[in-house]
Amino acid sequence: MLIGDLLQASNASEVKLDSASLKDEKNVQVKHAWVLPVEDLHQSYISMGTLEDSPTAKETWSSKQPLKDYRMSTQQTVNVVFEVEIKDPDQEASTAGMSVKYSSGSTNYLTEGEMGYRFPTTTCLSKQP
């Protein structure tokens, strides 16, 4: 599954994305962190719970680039996307949001999204005998 959010560089200088992680994650991990440049805020972008084979993901996926060391220009907006994997499909998973560490010049920053995610079990809970 994919989870994503928009990130806009508002600094007067270039921003370098350093790393990304999940906050307070339980039974879920980030497989990959990607950046998809956003050319127009009216375009489709990957948000909470987008499936990898959805039309939105297919439409934008070809422009993905690894998040680590991605350089954002001034005022650029990107779609930060995590490919997440549930560790144990028999157990519920959750996270309190996404975190991205970035730097501008010699100053380091951290931005944290407050959108929590809950992933119910992926197996059937009421099994027939």
What local confidence, expressed as pLDDT, does residue 11 receive? 67
pLDDT of amino acid 38: 86
Average pLDDT in the 63-89 region?
91
Average pLDDT over residues 26-53: 78
Question: Model-level pTM?
Answer: 0.78
Q: pLDDT at residue 34 above 90?
A: yes
Q: What is the pLDDT of residue 100?
A: 94
Asked whether 23 and 115 are in contact (CB, 8 A), the reply is no
Question: Which residues are CB-neighbours of 84 under 8 A, at least 6 positions away?
Answer: 1, 2, 3, 22, 28, 29, 30, 31, 119
Identify the pLDDT of residue 122: 59
